Structure 1
Amino acid sequence: MLRIFLFGYYGYGNFGDEILLSCSIELLKKICGDPKIHILLPRKSHPFENNPKVSRLNLPGIVLNILKSDLVVGGGGGIFQDETSLRSFLYYSFIVFTALILRKDVILLCHGIGPLRRKLSRWMMRKILSSRHVYPILRDEVSYRYCRMISKNAVLSVDLLVLKRLETPRKMNRNTGKISMILRKIPKDMEDFTKILASIGVSEIDLLVFFPNMDYGTNRKLQEDLREKFKVRILMNHEDLVESVMTSRFVMTERLHGAILSTLVGTPFISNLRIKKINRFFRDYLGRCDFDDAIDLFDTITKLEDFNFDEYRERKLVDWEKKKKDLMKKLTEILKKVENKR
């Protein structure tokens, strides 16, 4: 039985990260049969009760689990960046360096790399990627091109959320008065912001909290600012988030997984031009603007109304399906190499 140590930003209730965890486990089981997967988590209680847990704060326990593992897997996301936290970047780099010192193969499964603002971070990332025991599987072309300069093992793929099975998308009712927002900060000009939404017939707004620890306070304040003109709900339950996106006229998002989810279920979205993760993944998409620029926002909403989103979505799904097949093939090759070393 193959023993795998799986790490990521899991266990904090974040919509995207919890899906990345479930998709990582499903994918590894599909290819490996019945591996024993040890998961890095902040606490012992978690839905994946059948999988052994490793505390994030137990460094000796982490080292011991890596030592006993046949393979170390970073299960998706954008954890190798220092824009939000250098400490977090150093933590995940420690896990990879420990694995390499202990002569373990490491798969960075459907990751986005960067931004890397600091010289130390860039040096450490180059060291990680230069190892022949590291297999970077990247979710966007920018990350892939960067990694390919350093690692011959780099492969372009998709975000793990694309693997998630969701309900068949409904035909969108473009006359609905409800939209969903997935925001990390409050727009600067709230007066013009609300006038624009009211002028296009919006009467209901769902505020979707993908990162409870980081975004809930912002959304509570946003609810107070919006409730004078709109019916406003704050949603955090994962099933409610998906349902809201599926039933909205369009989605405004500052989270990458909000944009991917919208595409999967067939709902047009507008993303904040300042969010690099989304720009990388949807480089060919029309619906991007600066949420702090009311004129830009209004112009983008107007263009989106005339945009054939269904056609765009079909092109993306075809591309993602091909990359999913390539991902399965590449993972199978890597895991065969690991099995042969045992």
Structure 2
Amino acid sequence: MKNLLLIGYYGFGNLGDEMMVSTIKDFLLSQGFNVNIPVPKEKILNQKQFNRFNILKLFENILKADAIICGGGGVLQDKTSFKSFFYYYSIFEFSLLMRKPVIFFGNSFGPVRKKLSMLLLKRLLKQKKLYIFARDPVSSKYASQHNSHTFLATDPAIRFLSKLDITPSKRTDTAVIIPRKFRSYIPVLLNLKHLGFKNIIFLPFAPEDEILAKRLANFSIKGLNMSFSKPEEAIEKITKASVIISERFHGSLTAAYFDIPFISVKDEKFRRFITPYLPVYPGFAFDILDAAKKIELVLNESFSLKGSLLEACEGMYTKFGELLHNLV
């Protein structure tokens, strides 16, 4: 069996990343590959996983691999930190130096703010043994300027959503808020109440958002029943709401896939991802006040994206499998 190393922000409890790694791993196993995954030490569950912070172990697995897969997300950005950017860059650069094919599968690029990050990213994208399935048109256009092995693709987690046996049962009085950074949602809550909503669920998509979500859920507004829900209940809660207000990419994606009106708050990555499927849509907000103003607008919107999202996703996985079998 050929060995693949699957790289990403895995094992940290971020729901979007866990959706991606789950479905990518299952696909690779179905294609007959052996898959190894670096995760935090405390999250190691089996012999196919190893400590991502053990550099010697990481390089050992690179040398044993027939190809390296970066499975979804936006790991090559320095908005979070240059340290994170350089961690992933070093993995891919060393892999290519060892003449290992590297495949970016459903990734976005940027934002990169430091000149060094920009130089390193351009250097990486120019490598001949690098293959890119870009998640959105902006990333695809940028990558294709440096690399001829660039394909416009989509998000790998769509395949995960397609396997779920869920029929949305939208409750007209329920809204789900997926917070990340904004500390107050008062304008949103007041407008939701004005529009007849009664139940507000604060739903974190990552462990680092849980404290904020609980604090927001404890805020009291007469006439609103506010509650906190665990990440493992996320998809069920989303599919039972009539509007989703999300600061997280995969919160908005889940709503869009199940045709639930959504507002994506200050998330340029999601806006540029979804625009080819939904060219005219009022649900992109700059801040909380802007999000409050747009609730009524999105409630009057109707769309049906599941078919086009799934078609693009299945096409991406098919091309991915063909490329892997040709390369290794």
The TM-score normalised by the length of structure 1 is: 0.88
Once the two structures are TM-superposed, the CA of residue 36 in structure 1 deviates from its matched residue by: 1.5
Once the two structures are TM-superposed, the CA of residue 168 in structure 1 deviates from its matched residue by: 4.0
**Preserved contact between residue 44 and residue 50 of structure 2 (Cα < 8 Å):** no
The 5 Å alignment of 1:1-342 reads: 1-30=1-30, 32-33=31-32, 35-43=33-41, 45-46=43-44, 49=46, 52-164=48-160, 165-170=163-168, 172-173=170-171, 176-186=172-182, 190-213=185-208, 215-226=209-220, 229-238=223-232, 240-272=233-265, 274-283=266-275, 284=279, 285-293=281-289, 296-308=290-302, 312-313=303-304, 316-339=305-328
**Preserved contact between residue 83 and residue 115 of structure 1 (Cα < 8 Å):** yes
Q: Describe the SS at the equivalent of 2:242.
A: coil
**Preserved contact between residue 184 and residue 218 of structure 1 (Cα < 8 Å):** yes
Amino-acid identity (%) = 27
Q: Describe the SS at the equivalent of 1:60.
A: helix
- Counterpart of 2:4, as a letter, is I
Change (3 A) 1:216 1:128: same
- Counterpart of 2:164, as a letter, is L
CA RMSD of aligned residues (A): 1.9
Once the two structures are TM-superposed, the CA of residue 225 in structure 1 deviates from its matched residue by: 2.4
Once the two structures are TM-superposed, the CA of residue 191 in structure 1 deviates from its matched residue by: 4.3
Q: Describe the SS at the equivalent of 1:122.
A: helix
Change (3 A) 1:84 1:45: closer
Structure 1, unaligned runs of 5 or more: none
Once the two structures are TM-superposed, the CA of residue 86 in structure 1 deviates from its matched residue by: 1.1
- Give structure 1 regions of 4+ aligned residues with deviation exceeding 3 angstroms: 44-47, 190-193, 226-229, 296-299
- Counterpart of 2:226, as a letter, is V
How many Å separate the matches in 2 of 1:163 and 1:217?
A: 30
How many Å separate the matches in 2 of 1:186 and 1:225?
A: 14
How many Å separate the matches in 2 of 1:145 and 1:262?
A: 26
Structure 2, unaligned runs of 5 or more: none
Once the two structures are TM-superposed, the CA of residue 141 in structure 1 deviates from its matched residue by: 0.8
How many Å separate the matches in 2 of 1:221 and 1:200?
A: 24
Once the two structures are TM-superposed, the CA of residue 338 in structure 1 deviates from its matched residue by: 2.2
How many Å separate the matches in 1 of 2:43 and 2:53?
A: 15
How many Å separate the matches in 2 of 1:82 and 1:8?
A: 15
Once the two structures are TM-superposed, the CA of residue 79 in structure 1 deviates from its matched residue by: 0.9
How many Å separate the matches in 1 of 2:43 and 2:60?
A: 21
How many Å separate the matches in 2 of 1:235 and 1:292?
A: 21
- Counterpart of 2:262, as a letter, is F
How many Å separate the matches in 2 of 1:258 and 1:19?
A: 11
Once the two structures are TM-superposed, the CA of residue 231 in structure 1 deviates from its matched residue by: 1.9
How many Å separate the matches in 1 of 2:123 and 2:248?
A: 29
**Preserved contact between residue 134 and residue 140 of structure 2 (Cα < 8 Å):** yes
How many Å separate the matches in 2 of 1:203 and 1:180?
A: 11
Provide the aligned length of Structure 1 versus Structure 2.
322
How many Å separate the matches in 2 of 1:120 and 1:228?
A: 51
**Preserved contact between residue 218 and residue 227 of structure 2 (Cα < 8 Å):** no
